Amino acid sequence: MRAIAIDEFGGNDRLELKDVADPKLGPDGVLIRIRGAGLNPVDHKIREGSLDAAFPHVFPLVLGWDAAGVVEAVGPAVVRFAPGDEVFAYCRKHFVGEGTYGEYVVVPEDFAAPKPESIDFVRASAVPLAALTAWQALVEATAVRAGETVLVHGAAGGVGAFAVQIARARGAQVIGTASSAKHDFLRDLGASEQIDYTEVDFVEAVRDSHPDGIHVVFDLFGGDTLRRSVDALADGGRIVSLAEPPVDDHFRQREIKPAYVFVRPSGSQLAELSRLIDGGEIRVELEASYPLAEAAQALERLETGRVQGKLALELE
């Protein structure tokens, strides 16, 4: 198959559109002909080799963990899918190399879900990793409930935009942090309050409008942002980080419940997200899409850190 692959770690100049071996279909596997491949920051980290200790790799290494497409074939143990089904999936495996920047990918049956009917393949491919991350943080780890207030850091980015909408779908009020240029975008997503972290102290801003503190913090950054976020919480509040495990005596003293999420594949959760997308409760913010051959340009844009929503690759 044709794919964007690397033969050594490095920059975008290592990316090459080339022929690689087709993925092999096992008994519980679903072979997907890819029509869209979502981009995520982890892609360029894998490309440069900074995650080599966490994930074994094989060269040639095809990047990408997100895909949407059409089922081409299924293994004999598969019961939920058949050739011709339109699906999307978070395709992370225990190693990196058989990614989604190519014509085909094989995933276990329980990684995939029917594609939302209301959006196309390219937009659907922008959903899995980012939306599952937000879901596992807000629905599983912190169990956000109606009437609560949630602070979402990095609310205009790929994961943050889903977090805002999932919290709203749960009946929570949302405070989003982003530069002021993106505040209209946050309002459109459903954030009732916006904080420009470049202009004001976010803890003071939260406490000004919520003197007793808020219920949940969704952290993307770790470090000082994570440590200071506890001061925005009410006693007994919850904080979830995607960057590092929240470990601090200050949390325990105030009965703060910390959690750390490293997203895992889940077809059942993707099915729930699909329902919310088709029901109009979540919209997929796609800033731009690129042909497969322009994957390097897409990654360059992603690495600026200024993407509003998501980026994806288009395949025939």
Mean pLDDT to the nearest integer, 54-82: 98
3-state per-residue secondary structure call for 23-73: CCCCCCEEEEEEEEEECCHHHHHHHHCCCCCCCCEEEEEECCCEEEEEEEE
Asked if residue 202 has pLDDT above 80, the reply is yes
**DSSP string over 109-136:** GGGEEEPPTTS-HHHHHTSHHHHHHHHI
Averaged confidence pLDDT in the chain: 97
Distance of CA 66 to the CA centre of its chain: 9
- Provide mean pLDDT across the span 3-15: 98
Q: What residues does 135 pair with on adjacent strands?
A: none
**Interior angle at CA 40, CA 222 and CA 136, nearest 5:** 60
**Stretch 226-244: mean pLDDT, rounded?**
96
Within this chain, domains 2-126+287-314 and 130-260 share the same CATH topology: yes
This prediction's pTM = 0.97
State both tokens at 113. Answer: 């879900």
Residue 193 has pLDDT above 90, yes or no: yes
- For the residues 283-293, what does the mean pLDDT come to? 98
* pLDDT of 213 strictly over 80: yes
* Torsion from C-alpha of 7, 9, 13, 16, nearest 10 degrees: 30
Question: What value does the mean pLDDT take over residues 99-118?
Answer: 99
pLDDT, tens only, 109-146: 999 999 999 999 999 999 999 999 999 999 999 999 99
- Whole-number Å distance between alpha carbons of 31 and 100: 12
* Domain extent listing, the chain: 2-126+287-314, 130-260
How many other CB atoms are there within 10 angstroms of residue 126's CB atom?
29
**Bridge partner list, 175:** 151, 193
Rounded to an integer, the average pLDDT of 286-302 is 98
The architecture of the domain spanning 130-260 is Alpha-Beta Complex (3.90)
Average pLDDT over residues 78-107: 98
Domain 2-126+287-314 has CATH 3.90.1150.10: no
pLDDT recorded at residue 316: 84
* Helix, strand, coil content of the chain in percent (nearest 5): 30, 30, 40
pLDDT for res 10: 98
What integer is the mean pLDDT of 148-174?
98
177, 178, 200, 225, 303 from 306: Cα distances, Å = 14, 10, 20, 19, 8
